[in-house]
Structure 1
Amino acid sequence: MVEIFLKTLPFFAVIGLGFGAGRAGAFGPEATAWLTKFVFYFALSAMLFGFAANLSLGDLFQMRAFSAYLWACLVLYALVMGVAFLRRRPLSEATIEAHTATIGNTGFLGVPMLVVLLGPESVPAVLMILTIDLIVFSSLFTMLITFAREGRISPELPGILLRAVGKNPMVMSMALGLLWSASGVPLPGTINDFMVLLGAAATPCALFAIGASLADKRAERLGIVSWLCFGKLVLHPALVALATLVIFRVDPVTAGVMIAASALPVAGNVFILAQQYQVGPARVSAAILISTVISIATIPVIIAWVSGF
């Protein structure tokens, strides 16, 4: 357990360094925004392309694992929305709370950390979860928010969703990597070296950017935020464990990776959605900050457990 904690500590130390730099004013919001863009559009995309180029579509989408994760997330989504409705919150607030409790920081934290800690065999499951989050739940969120705002689902919405997916560099880099893999053509050495070099910048830059982005977050509305953090850090991995180990009986190695990925703190892009639609940005901001801090203690526990699988 101590060994696992010490292995995760450098990742959170880089997050802490970014947080300290942001709080001290040495790395302001504008710098953070540009660093985040570099990671999102270049470094992380290169890393994901390299991973996907060595996989097949069958590796990435194992139907049993896919169904297990989707089931667990939908149950959690419905549960959090139900609690919000019991508190007499509108559909838009219920949706952002459900999204907060369900979507983890798989791209910026999960991909670099879990692949290092759980080994290269974790890559297919991590990329599958990232794909589900970016496509299935981003689409679900947009549809629910649109219905809450307009009272109907516009016929133009499917086209809007497809264009949004097509503009996401993480989705496109994985798709291009899978297409390259399907071609059967080996990746030229120079291109591979370029991708490895650029992708290597993803881990430290992504972690630093997470920390810097947390520097202006505040812990507000602790009652509801505590519930959302509990949903993300406890209920989500518990439901994924139930789905993978008991209901769908996913193979233990894949199940372990999925459980670990579901224990990640709230994703930063949920706050972007909250700001864009002006629904609950304060509680989302606080949930990102608090869940990230608490996950320093909870993630090593989960990884220590699933490592035995």
Structure 2
Amino acid sequence: MAAIFLSTLPFFMVIAAGYGAGRSGFFTPEATAWLTKFVFYFALSAMLLRFSANLSLREIFEPSFVLAYLCGSAVVYGLATAVSLVRGARAEEAAIEAQCAVVGNVGFLGIPMLAMLMGEAAIAAVMMVLAVDLIVFGALIVIVITGTRDGRMRPAVLGTVGLGLLRNPMIVSIVLGLAWSGLQLPIPGPVNEFLIILGGAATPGALFAIGASLAGKSAERPYVATWLSLCKLVLHPAAVAVAALLIFDVDPYSAAVMIAAASLPVAGNVYMLAQHYGVAPQRVSASILISTVLAAVTVSLVIGWVQPLY
């Protein structure tokens, strides 16, 4: 377990370096925004495009895998929603809190870290988790908040959700890569080298950007944020593990990667949604901060727990 902790520690040290740069003012919020944009649209997209171009749709899409992840996540999503409503939160607040409980930082933290710790073979499973988070839960939060405010579901909302997915460079990169793979053509040498060089910036850039963005977050309403962090870091991987290993009989290695991905801290894009819709952004901010700090230990514990599976 100590060896796994030491293996994950450098990733969180880069996050800490970004946090220090942001907290000291050396890295301004504007600089953080531009670094995040570079990683999101260029570095991470290049990494995903290269990985997916070397995979087939059959390698990525496995029905039992998707069902296990969805069912495990749905249990925690429902629990977080119920607790929020019992506490007296509005429906849209409950939806945002449920999002915190199941949507992890798979893009910026999970892809680079799990690929290095669990091998490049983990990429297919991680990309499937990412796709489910973006397509299913990303769409669900928009539908719930919009439907709650309008009092009914408008067809235009589905168009908004669809456009949002089409504009997401991670989804576009995966689709383009799989399309290229489907043509069964090798990536030209210079293009492959270009993707390797640009994608190589994804890991340090994404981790540093996570840390720098955390510098502007506060821990208001820490009790709620701590509960949501517990859901994300402990209950979510536990529920996914039960679904993957005991109910749907997912391949052990894929199950291990899925469980590790489920143990990641709350994703930054949940804060972006909360801020966009004006629903509890400080609560989400605190959840991201607390879960990311605790993840330095909990992610190592989860990876150590699933290690015998692969």
TM-score (norm 2): 0.99
* Superposed CA offset, 1:180-225 (max 9, x none): 0000111101100000100000000000000000001111111111
- Which amino acid in 1 is paired with 2:250? V
Partner of 1:219, secondary structure, is coil
1:108-119 equivalences under 5 Å are 108-119=108-119
- Which segments of structure 1 move beyond 6 Å, counting only runs of 4 or more? none
- Which amino acid in 2 is paired with 1:147? G
Provide the C-alpha distance between the structure 1 equivalents of 2:26 and 2:109, rounded to a whole number of angstroms: 23
Partner of 1:284, secondary structure, is helix
Provide the C-alpha distance between the structure 2 equivalents of 1:234 and 1:118, rounded to a whole number of angstroms: 20
Provide the C-alpha distance between the structure 2 equivalents of 1:243 and 1:252, rounded to a whole number of angstroms: 12
Provide the C-alpha distance between the structure 2 equivalents of 1:244 and 1:72, rounded to a whole number of angstroms: 8
1:270 partnered with 2:237: no
- Which amino acid in 2 is paired with 1:220? E
Provide the C-alpha distance between the structure 1 equivalents of 2:41 and 2:53, rounded to a whole number of angstroms: 18
Question: Paired residue for 2:9?
Answer: 9
Question: Paired residue for 2:288?
Answer: 288
CA-CA distance at 1:157 after TM superposition: 1.6
Identity %, equivalent residues: 56
Provide the C-alpha distance between the structure 1 equivalents of 2:155 and 2:287, rounded to a whole number of angstroms: 34
1:81 partnered with 2:81: yes
Question: Paired residue for 1:261?
Answer: 261
Provide the C-alpha distance between the structure 1 equivalents of 2:24 and 2:87, rounded to a whole number of angstroms: 39
* Superposed CA offset, 1:134-165 (max 9, x none): 11111011100011111111111221111111
CA-CA distance at 1:81 after TM superposition: 0.7
- Which amino acid in 2 is paired with 1:248? F
- Which amino acid in 1 is paired with 2:204? P
Question: Paired residue for 2:231?
Answer: 231
Question: Paired residue for 1:140?
Answer: 140
Provide the C-alpha distance between the structure 2 equivalents of 1:163 and 1:217, rounded to a whole number of angstroms: 29
CA-CA distance at 1:236 after TM superposition: 0.2
1:1-309 equivalences under 5 Å are 1-309=1-309
Provide the C-alpha distance between the structure 2 equivalents of 1:78 and 1:235, rounded to a whole number of angstroms: 12
TM-score (norm 1): 0.99
- Which amino acid in 2 is paired with 1:80? A
Partner of 1:83, secondary structure, is helix
* Superposed CA offset, 1:92-115 (max 9, x none): 000000001110000000000000
**Corresponding residue pairs, total:** 309
CA-CA distance at 1:246 after TM superposition: 0.3
* Superposed CA offset, 1:37-90 (max 9, x none): 000000000000011001111111111001100111111111111111111211
CA-CA distance at 1:289 after TM superposition: 0.4
- Which amino acid in 2 is paired with 1:146? T
Provide the C-alpha distance between the structure 2 equivalents of 1:88 and 1:268, rounded to a whole number of angstroms: 25
Q: What is the RMSD computed on CA atoms of the aligned residues? A: 0.7
Partner of 1:308, secondary structure, is helix
- Which amino acid in 2 is paired with 1:163? L
